Structure 1
Amino acid sequence: MNNSLDPRVKRLTLNESNTSLKEGEHWNIFEVFRQDKRGGHHVHVGALHAPDPAMALIFAKEQYGRRKECFNLWVVCSADILAFADEDAEMFVNNKEKNYREASGFKVRDKIEEFKKKSGE
């Protein structure tokens, strides 16, 4: 028996039952993001189960919006979030060689001097 408090873990054995779920009985997992003050950024605060986005927003307000000051909440169905696979992590490794960002990487001064000589200045 699994004693986890995470609702996603508790529902892992849901598919093992022989009865199929009726419309409205299958609740989706929604990720909740909270904005503490106007103009601030939204921060992921947790997940919850709800039958639809409207109810998810109500549940999110009750669960994540009443203890701490809250300006706004977002709910997003977990299935709608796209992410890169762990195997793709190397694409985010930064190139430490960034001469192209420094002025020394450009030969503009030489080109300007050459242009001035050709134009007779």
Structure 2
Amino acid sequence: MSLESLLLVAAGAAFGGVGRYWLGRLLPELYGTLAANTIACFLLGIITSAETVHLSPGTTLLAGMGFSGALSTWSTLAKELGELIRTGQNVRALRYGVATIVLGILAVLSASLVF
């Protein structure tokens, strides 16, 4: 792993983290996390599809590992699901968990149609 690779991932992560922060502030409870994870899945779907047309390794590191990795927030998802379950909102937790999985899969699939 080169210094250039680390810097590309770090730069992407800085922007992805800021994006995640703002989505959490702009959208109502739970929707910021859902939006961040769905957008990250869509972007990774594009990157994965675009790699077949020779996307540069630097772009993959910057946008995929860095930006998408920092934008997606599975730890926050786990915290939110745990809180919903702890407070007895089991049906809401189930809907939220299923929506996250389904939207993530649909995002990747729809992104793959772009390429």
Interval containing the TM-score (normalised by the shorter chain): under 0.3
The normalised TM-score by structure 2 is 0.24
- Select the structure of larger CA radius of gyration: 1
In terms of fraction of residues, the more helix-rich structure is 2
Higher strand share: 1
